[in-house]
Amino acid sequence: MNHWIIAPVILPALLAPLIGYVMRHDMPLSRVFSMAGTVALVAIALGLFGIAADGTTHVYRLGDWPAPFGIVLVLDRLSALMVLLTSVLALIVLMHAIATGWDARGRHFHALFQFQLMGICGAFLTGDIFNLFVFFEVLLIASYGLMIHAGGRARMRAGLQYVVINLAGSTLFLFALGTLYAGTGTLNIADLAVRLAEIPESESAIVRVAAMLLMIVFAVKAALFPVQFWLPGTYANAPAPVAALFAIMTKVGAYAIIRVHTIVFGPDIAATEGMSGLWLFPAAIVTIAVGAFGVLGARRLMPLIAFSVLGSMGTLMIAVSAFTPEATTAALYYLVHSTFAAAALFLMADLVITRREDDVLSGMPPTVQNGLFAALFFAAAIGMAGMPPLSGFLGKLLVLDALRAPGEIGWAWTAVLAGSLLTIVGFARAGSTLFWKSTAVAIPEPGPEEVPAPEEGPHEKTPSIAHHAPVTAMEAAPSMAALAALAALAALAGPAASYFEATSAQLFDRSSYVDSVLTEDPAALLEAVKADDGHGSEEGGSDGDGEPTGDGEYGVDDHGEPVGDAATEEGH
Amino acid sequence: MELLVATAIGALTAGGVYLILRLRAFPVIIGLALLSYAVNVFIFSSGRLAINLPPILAKYGDASYTDPLPQALVLTAIVISFGMTAVLVMVALGSYLETGTDEVDIHPAGHDASNEDAAQ
Amino acid sequence: MERRGVGAQTREMTPLPPLAGVAWLMLMVATGAVVVMHRNRFRALVLIGIIGLMISSGFVYLSAPDLALTQISVETVTIMLLLLALHYLPKTTPRESSAGLRLRDGAIALASGVGVAALSYAFMLRDGSTISDYHLANSYKGGGGTNVVNVILVDFRGYDTYGEIIVLGIAGLIIYALMETLLKGPAGQRLRNTDYSRDRSRDRHPLMMVVATRVMMPIAVMVGVYIFLRGHNQPGGGFVAGLVISIALLMQYMASGFAWTQARKKIEYHAMIGWGVVIAGLTGAGAWLAGVPFLTSAFGYVHIPPIEEFELATAAIFDLGVFLTVLGAVMLMLYSLSRIARYSGESVNVDPMDYDPADRVTDTEKGGA
């Protein structure tokens, strides 16, 4: 058993309290440790990526308990990919936060950041559905802290809304888990898959409700229509580096749908057959539309980017909703792409906004390095909107190519293409207002698309001259690194696509997942435990009902489930 | 007994949902508390009901016990929702002190102006 | 979703004693009352307390002593924190939704309530096989404890518990960070300019309460230690113990005042959370030294002659981590709320009692404002 599998969870979990409690008054030291931890996380993730690349599914049994009874971590190509993506994104975001000084604008940034990484990695690695809930909560509560980092009026309001929506979502998650446990009696994902396959269609109502509830829960995280409304407000008001990190948070929802609704409620399971895609597909189409019109209507830069993220989630989920290996390959490619594209946009926007009064899209005196910012902005926008030569184009092409089923081709193609067009228009208009109009007018004049600036934007007004200084190499490097990731994804499209193909092939090979996790038959394990009563010293005695038994101490009734007996005994 | 538990869960859920829809910080906090009671009993009931069979192993012999796993899950859920409630209370308090209103606005950015007056 | 059916009913209803009916009635009435009277926020909190109490007694009756213990102690701490926070929030909710909106929300609420009730009723009357037979069978042999729920928490599913205390630790951190940010910003000014003095009692720290809480302190601590130690075999454990001790400390803060108690506190709460999380993590990681996976527990039985044979388990150290995190997180929340209080102009008391009979100096000005 490879102990490195749990390292992406334990490393930040041990580092965060150290940073939070020992070094909380020492910013340079926190920065060094946080940075070192994130670099180490990237190295570990690369190592795990290498381990998983050969296609075997590695299982880590926590507490050394056999599979369905204890909690297991599962490392396959998909989880290794997601952990690697998380760690690389985290490194980029952390560099930006340190270089721009965002981390010093409130308390405990680095501790919360590390806890956030722990939660995300834990969610990607776990093979137990209740444990998935626990790590969702870890990553959510850390995100609440990061969301309201540095405070401010608009951010506190948006933060309250974000917390309330996610608490309601968590409650729904628990309802879903209760239903699932009532219907199947297990929590391990592989064991769930086995038991669901055994449920006859005539008795499938309870697990179908569970599948539906879980879908809604994950859809909240992935910001799918009609539960997408939290995303624009949250992303637009979060501190920019945090918004960039949140690019992976929506992907946690997407990952959970891919994982759970492929392996547990897969397309070929009689009890829930075909149900997942049926709901997901129209929701994804509407999400694209909401995102695209949001981009077109946005009057400020941060909401504009937030809506474009929403649109990209729609495109991603359209591909997921097909639940075929080809479409999942495309979805994975687009997932990696859209994570970096969103991060690049948010980080870049942060550089621009701190050099302007606020993020309202209106003409303004040119800032320093206008040309550089314009170039960066358009590069990131091209990536997000899906134009060549960056990876967004290839991503959308793959998605369209995979959706050729008669029922979906018309809707999907129209939505993706029209959505892309609107997004391009929105970005082009915003970019020209921001960078070219600004060079033309010296004083902002009230034009038709001019809107009165809100009294207080989500960003701190930092009128100090220091913020009008040109960007340093350290400040620009993270945004450029995110863009470079997009370029690399495009340049290495061949190898990447074949890796994603292998990943989705492994994902759809459900029986190999189940066999790797459940190495021994659960029923046989249970029998073995009952047969082996190690302590023979205190034999005899009687239980509450006065039945003499000789089965050794602390025995459990061998006949049937304890629960069933409980009920019948009480009935007498 | 089952009917009682089921109706209690239903009533708590309905009350919680209604209060959350009030979209004011305090009713939302109370509503989420009701909902978390409801979901705790709900998960607990997924282990089916049993009377006088606590999952504490008897010293001698065979005995039957109620399902311990949902109880452990509920314990985890209680602790997590306690931490979440504490954070929610503080964020609500912070939002109230910053903005002067305890409304939970579910409309995205841009509607701040309407509540300015209430703030002062 | 009923179109595929749920199969035949396989369980009889469990019998219904009259007392359970009474508790159910109280629960339903209290829930209805909360919804009707939620605008009066103080009253709503009291009613929430009733609901929590009824749920706890339901857990006792339905074979879940651990749940009952936890529910009732969480209840106490949550209500205390809510009461403190309510001091700074508006005391009433304005009536602002139109009748139509309320009707719509009521319909949504009713639909979800009926749905959830039907769902739970459906599965409660049907049997299913669960994986927990293994936990029951293996709890003593493999986990070294007879309280199966606690063994699941610290051993079979210890990883969940690890995540759970991290949630609590993060909650403590966020609340502290939020306080710092708030008090520095415009919210701090608003606090200083708001007059809270009309709500204040003349005798904030009554003599009786100070004396009573001090007498209760060692007893409460002993109960906490007892609950902690028995956790592996009987209802209890680190979480409940942490809450019991934090309630004991909260009582000191309430009775004798923040400053007086704070001055007598030896360990910083930040450090307590940190130690808790690190201890739990290192206990888990210690298993690596033996070449076994994270959180693998070990236990043995020790016999020192005058004492009866007792058990030592690594799970107990893990539970200690849980205990410290819970205690630290609750106290840090209280500390943050008290900082708001002082910021809003609450006076700081030096002496534990407003009228100390031992102090014969007739200093009527004591206590300041």
A442-456, C77-91, C238-252, range with the lowest pLDDT: A442-456
What is the pLDDT averaged over residues A356-375? 73
Average pLDDT, chain C: 82
Q: A362-366, A504-508, C36-40: which has the highest mean pLDDT?
A: A504-508
CB within 8 Å of chain A, chain B residues 32-51: 32, 35-36, 39, 42-43, 45-51
Average pLDDT for residues A513-527, to the nearest whole number? 85
| Average pLDDT value for chain A | 83
Helix residue spans in A403-492 (DSSP H): 406-431, 438-440, 473-491
Q: Which two tokens stand for residue A33?
A: 């440790």
Better-scored residue on pLDDT, B115 or A416: A416
| In-domain check, residue B71 | yes
The amino acid occupying position A127 is G
Task: Using the CB atoms, write b or e for A168-205: b if 16+ within 10 Å.
Answer: bbbbbbbbbbbbbbbbbbbbbbbbbbbbbeebeeebbb
Percent of chain C with pLDDT over 70: 87
pLDDT band at residue A455 using 50, 70 and 90 as cut-offs: very low
**Region A319-340 average pLDDT:** 92
Residue C112: pLDDT above 90? yes
Token match 């993706």: residue?
A: A416
Chosen for mutation from C3, C4, C165 (greatest number of chain A CBs closer than 10 Å) is: C4
CA distance B37 to chain A (A): 10
Report chain A residues whose CB lies below 8 A from the CB of C167: 134, 137-138, 141
Dihedral pair phi/psi, residue A118, rounded to 5° = -60, -45
B115 within a domain of the structure (yes/no)? no
Q: Which residue reads 């409660």 in tokens?
A: C124
Measuring CA to CA, which residue among A169, A174, A210 is closest to residue A192? A210
- What pLDDT is stored for residue A464 in this prediction? 42
B partners (3+ CB pairs within 8 A) are: A, C
Residues of B in contact with A132 (CB under 8 A): none
The answer to whether residue B6 is domain-embedded is yes
Question: Is C203's pLDDT higher than 70?
Answer: no
**Is the model more confident about C339 or about A37?**
A37
**A276 pLDDT higher than 50:** yes
pLDDT of residue C231: 77
d(CA A180, CA A171): 14
List, in sequence order, every residue forming a beta bridge with A126; answer none if it has no partner.
A73
Q: According to the model, what pLDDT value does residue B57 have?
A: 82
Pair of tokens at residue A120: 């995300």
Position B24 in a domain: yes
Residue A468 pLDDT: 62
ipTM of the complex: 0.89
Instruction: For chain A, give every domain's residue range.
Output: 3-450+457-522
pLDDT at residue A459 tops 70:
no
Count Cα atoms within 13 angstroms, Cβ side, for A230.
Answer: 23
- CA distance linking residue A297 with residue A475, whole number of Å: 30
- The token pair at B2 is 């089952």
Report yes or no: A395 and A331 within 8 Å, Cβ to Cβ.
no
C361 three-state secondary structure? coil
What per-residue confidence (pLDDT) applies to A431?
86
Closest Cα in chain A to C115: A209
Of A63-67, C60-64, C129-133, C200-204, where does the model show the most confidence? C60-64
Helix axes A325-353 and A301-321, enclosed angle (nearest 10)? 170
Q: C2 contacts in A (CB within 8 Å)?
A: 205
HSE-CB at A363 with a 13 A cutoff on CA atoms is: 15
> B16: buried, middle or exposed (CB in 10 Å: 19+, 13-18, 0-12)?
buried
Residue ranges of alpha helices (H) inside chain C are: 18-36, 41-61, 65-86, 99-124, 132-143, 148-151, 158-184, 186-193, 207-230, 238-256, 258-263, 269-286, 314-343
Q: What is the pLDDT of residues A526-540, one digit of tens each?
A: 888 777 654 433 333
Q: How far is C72 from chain A (nearest CA, A)?
A: 20
Q: Quick one: pLDDT at residue C361?
A: 54
B-chain residue closest to A181, CA distance: B46
In the predicted model, is pLDDT for residue A542 greater than 60?
A: no
Contacts of B83 in chain C (CB under 8 A): 167-168, 170-171, 329
Contacts of B46 in chain A (CB under 8 A): 178-179, 181-182
Identify the pLDDT of residue C5: 66
What band does A543 get if pLDDT is binned at 50, 70 and 90?
very low
Answer whether residue C2 shows pLDDT above 70: no
pLDDT in tens, C152-190: 988 899 899 999 999 999 998 898 888 888 888 777 777
Q: What stretch of H or E contains A42?
A: helix A27-52
Give me the residue label for tokens 């934090």.
Answer: C246
> Chain A: nearest CA to C20, how far in angstroms?
15
Question: Do the domain assignments include residue B112?
Answer: no
Closest CA to A486 of A348, A361, A369, A391: A391
User: Taking 80 as the threshold, does the pLDDT of residue A7 lie above it?
Assistant: yes
Q: What is the average per-residue pLDDT within C93-101?
A: 80
Cα–Cα distance for residue pair C59/B9, rounded to 1 Å: 13
In order of A11, A121, A125, A507, the CA distances from A5 in angstroms are: 11, 10, 8, 18
**What is the C-alpha separation between A413 and A433, in angstroms, rounded?**
30
Per-residue pLDDT averaged across A360-366, rounded? 68
Q: How far apart are CA C286 and CA A105, in angstroms?
A: 37
A374-388, A489-503, B57-71: the lowest-pLDDT one? B57-71
At C201, is the pLDDT very low, low, confident or very high (cuts 50, 70, 90)?
A: low
Please say whether the beta carbons of A69 and A528 come within 8 A: no
For residue B84, being part of any structural domain is answered with yes
pLDDT digits (tens, 9 = 90+) for C237-286: 888 899 999 888 888 887 877 777 777 777 788 888 888 989 988 888 88
Residue among B53, B99, B108 minimizing CB distance to A566: B53
pLDDT digits (tens, 9 = 90+) for A77-108: 999 999 999 999 999 999 999 999 888 888 88
A455 contact C CB<8A: no
pLDDT at residue A319 is higher than 70: yes
Decide if A69 touches B, using CB distance below 8 A.
no
**A408: which 2 tokens?**
């979906």
pLDDT of residue A495: 92
- As beta bridge partners, residue A178 has none
- Please indicate whether, in this complex, the C-beta atoms of C148 and B68 are within 8 angstroms of each other: yes
Q: How confident is the model at residue C197 (pLDDT cuts 50, 70, 90)?
A: low
What is residue A87's predicted lDDT score, i.e. its pLDDT?
A: 96
Q: Which of B84, B95, B108 is opposite residue A232, by nearest beta carbon? A: B108
Calpha distance B110→A299 (Å, rounded): 10
- Within 8 A by CB and 6+ apart from C194, the residues are C344
Total domains, chain B: 1
DSSP-assigned states of every residue in A496-521: HHHHHHHHHHHHH-HHHHHHHH--S-
Q: Which residue has the higher pLDDT, C133 or A123?
A: A123
Distance, in Å, from the CA atom of B24 to the CA atom of C219, rounded to the nearest integer, reads: 41
Tell me the shortest Cα–Cα distance from A133 to chain B, in angstroms: 9
* CATH number, position B79: 1.10.287
Residue B55, in any domain of the structure: no
pLDDT value, residue C307:
67
Average pLDDT per consecutive 10 residues, chain B (120 residues; last block may be shorter): 92 94 88 94 90 78 81 93 92 86 61 33
Interchain proximity A174–B42, CB inside 8 Å = yes
**Rounded Cα distance, C62 and B51, in Å:** 5
Main-chain dihedrals φ then ψ at residue A417, nearest 5 degrees = -70, -45
Pairing status of strand B62-63 against strand A555-556: parallel
Q: What is the mean pLDDT of residues A29-42?
A: 94
Option in A17, A181, A525 nearest C169 (CB): A17
Contact B71 C167 (CB under 8 A): no
In terms of CA atoms, which chain B residue is nearest residue C188?
A: B97
Q: Hey, which residues 12-71 in chain B have their CB within 8 Å of chain C?
A: 12-19, 21-22, 24-27, 29-30, 33-34, 37-38, 40-42, 44-57, 65-69, 71
**What pLDDT band is residue A11 in, cutting at 50, 70 and 90?**
very high
Does C301 have pLDDT greater than 80?
Answer: no
Out of A249-263, A352-366, C178-192, C213-227, least confident range: A352-366
Going by their DSSP bridges, the two strands C310-313 and C299-302 should be labelled as antiparallel
Query: What's the gap in Å between the CA of B112 and the closest CA on chain C?
Result: 16
Q: Could you tell me the CA-to-CA distances from A35 to A13, A27, A29, A473 in Å, in that order?
A: 14, 12, 10, 18
* A141-to-A115, A248, B20 alpha-carbon distances in Å: 9, 15, 20
Cis peptide before A389 (omega within 30 of 0): yes
Q: Do C124 and B2 touch (CB under 8 A)?
A: yes
Residue A225 pLDDT more than 50?
yes
CB A514 within 8 A of CB A194: yes
Residue B105, pLDDT score: 67
- Whether the CA torsion A40, A42, A43, A47 is positive or negative: it is positive
What's the one-letter identity of residue B6? A
Identity of the residue in C1, C138, C146 whose CB atom sits nearest the CB atom of A208:
C1
Question: Residues with Cβ < 8 Å from B47, sequence gap 6 or more?
Answer: A181, A563, B66, B67, B68, B69, B70, B71, C130, C132
User: What confidence category does residue A439 fall into, taking pLDDT thresholds of 50, 70 and 90?
Assistant: low
User: A139 with A222: CB under 8 angstroms?
Assistant: no
Distance from CA of A76 to the nearest CA of C (A): 18
Judged by phi (left if over 0) then psi (alpha if -120 to 50, else beta), residue A471 lies in beta
| Domain that residue B16 falls in | 2-49+65-103
A561–C129 C-beta distance less than 8 A: yes
Q: Take residue C88 and report the two structure tokens written for it.
A: 């700074």
φ and ψ at residue A75, rounded to 5 degrees:
-110, 110
Q: Which of B30, B42, B98 sits opposite C186 (nearest CB)?
A: B98
Going from the C-alpha of C253 to that of each of A313, A500, B109, C257, C294, the distances in angstroms are 49, 58, 41, 5, 39
Rg of the Cα trace of chain A?
26
Q: How confident is the model at residue C360 (pLDDT cuts 50, 70, 90)?
A: low
Determine contact: B117 vs chain A, CB below 8 A. no
**Tokens found for residue A502:** 């292998």
CB A398 within 8 A of CB A333: yes
- Backbone torsions φ then ψ of A298, nearest 5 degrees: -65, 140
Percentages helix, strand, coil for chain B (3-state, rounded to 5) are: 65, 5, 30
Chain Cα centroid distance, residue A541: 54
